[in-house]
Structure 1
Amino acid sequence: MAFHPAKCTTEHMTRRRTTLPYEYQLHGQKLQEETQAKYLGVTLTKNLKWNTHIANITTKANRALGFARRNIKLSNKKVKAAAYKALVRPILEYASPVWDPHTAEDSASLEKVQRRAARWVSHRFRQTSSVNNMLEDLEWPTLESRRRRARLTTFYKVHHDLVAVKSNHAPKPSPPK
């Protein structure tokens, strides 16, 4: 298989402040350096932070929620909740075991989308309405707890060789004392 140099880029990923400059070449042409790249729907950045990816998916999820709000005029909670779960939540959770945010700011920006959806599904837009009560009534767990469950499920599958991921370098849990 031959690669076309104009379609290939490089990205140096590190947390260091200064990097060693190195130019890569393919078929005699210098490859262009990028600061971020999208791979399988996940935005990878030069500084190994996830805030760019999270900003991208919250924007995409808010657009999907806006689409649902414009096109679903019914007051039926079940239909609206199903639309949220089918159109918006998969965007917020795609590949989350890989990029699960560790900053409160990133986690809060994801939760804002779900809270906005809860207001729409419950049809309660007043500022005095409690979104936490709406989430309890809808029986929606937080996205953070859903990501934690997905992360643990993925770890279990890797540990027990249920997925095609080599686990010889994965951390092993210590036996109980």
Structure 2
Amino acid sequence: MQEDLKSMFKWAKNNSMEFNTSKFEMLRYRHPKADVISYEYRTPENETISCHMNIKDLGIIMSNDARFELQIDEIVSNARQRIRWILRTFKTREPDAMLTLYRAMVLPIIEYRSQLWNLVTFGQIREIEGSQRTFTSKIHGTNAMDYWQGLKHLKLYSLERRRERCIIIYIWKIINDIVPNLTYNGENLITTHYNSRNGTLCRVPPIKRTWRRIQTQIEGSIIVNGPRLYNCLPQSIRDTKHTLTSFKKALDKFLATIPDQPCLPHYHQVAEGNSIRQQATETQRRHTSVAGD
């Protein structure tokens, strides 16, 4: 990597450009049980590039353990600050006005680059979901409702459902060459295959058994979780050639058929969780049970 840096420094000099080396930072990913690497990387002035545990890059806090706890904490803090500002500034609590403010001023904070940091635990899901729960509870007409009922009444998705919907749409865009594919060593990571029984499916990469925390992060990544979510869609949606608009309509029509019950304290779920995968599986199980009866 030091040789790559030297090539970049040489390129900059040849093109009469100069890097701001005071902004150079290094983030080193490694297995928690691996030996610490002591090799240092250096600037053109032969100064050591400082190594950090956390670095903010394009608005996302990256950590050396590949987790996004600090990022999620910052999202929740900023979202709650914005919600408090809205509630102080505007007297109205009417649904149309409140939802317009929420979609314009809060959701962009909560969902920025969510395809990347969607590696969240149940505790973090609850923490993020609590921001929307707080806001919706202030809207007229939801006072006597619990959060699940409020979502239905306001025709809102839970934040977890919105993130997964966003991931599915992104996978669809990759499959249809609307956005670049994710690659590794020149090979596309998102690919599809077809069989007569199940139709078009995304290939889910095999996952080697490793340390549990790392395996959980791999399973939550868009490379693995994205294809799994996409494969939950009905075959009729996966096999039909859609425009982006028609695909979103078909996706929303399907999502309307499965419960949206975010994990919160004291809320009893029938499914193991609120992921589309879990809710779709539970819905299918119920339908099969009813048909059998």
Structure 2 unpaired stretches of 5+: 1-16, 198-293
Higher relative contact order (CA 8 A, sep 6+): 1
1:119 equivalent to 2:137? Answer yes
**Residue 81 of structure 1: how far off its partner (Å):** 1.2
Match 2:176 to one of 149, 160, 163:
160
Structure index of larger Rg: 2
Paired residue for 2:147? 131
Amino acid paired to 1:21: S
Check whether the contact 2:133–2:147 (CA below 8 A) recurs between aligned residues.
Answer: yes
User: 1:174 matched to which residue of 2?
Assistant: 193
Number of residue pairs aligned between Structure 1 and Structure 2: 175
User: TM-score, normalization: structure 2?
Assistant: 0.56
**2:4 equivalent in structure 1:** none
Q: CA deviation at 1:174?
A: 3.2
Letter in 2 for 1:17: K
Number of the residue aligned with 1:64: 82
Query: CA separation in 1, counterparts of 2:58 and 2:97?
Result: 30
Match of 2:56 in 1: 38
Alpha carbons of structure 1 residues 41 and 123: separation in structure 2 relative to 1, 3 Å: farther
Structure 1 position 67, deviation (Å):
0.9
Partners of 1:111 and 1:143 within 8 A in 2: yes
Q: Deviation per CA, 1:119-168: give whole Å up to 9, x if none.
A: 1223766xx75222222211111111111111011111122211144553
Q: What SS does structure 2 have at the residue aligned with 1:37?
A: strand
Identity, % of aligned positions: 21
Contact 1:15 1:48 in 2 (8 A): no
One-letter identity of the residue aligned with 1:159: I
Residue 6 of structure 1 is aligned with which of 3, 22, 27? Answer: 22
Q: How does 1:145-156 map to 2 (within 5 A)?
A: 145-156=161-172
Check if 1:76 corresponds to 2:89.
no
Which TM-score applies when normalising by structure 1?
0.89
Report the CA distance shift for 1:94/1:123 in structure 2 as closer, same or farther (over 3 A). same
Letter in 1 for 2:30: T
State the alpha-carbon separation in 1 of the partners of residues 172 and 30 from structure 2: 29
Any conservation in 2 of the 1:97–1:147 contact (CA below 8 Å)? yes
Question: The residue matched to 1:26 in structure 2 has which SS?
Answer: coil
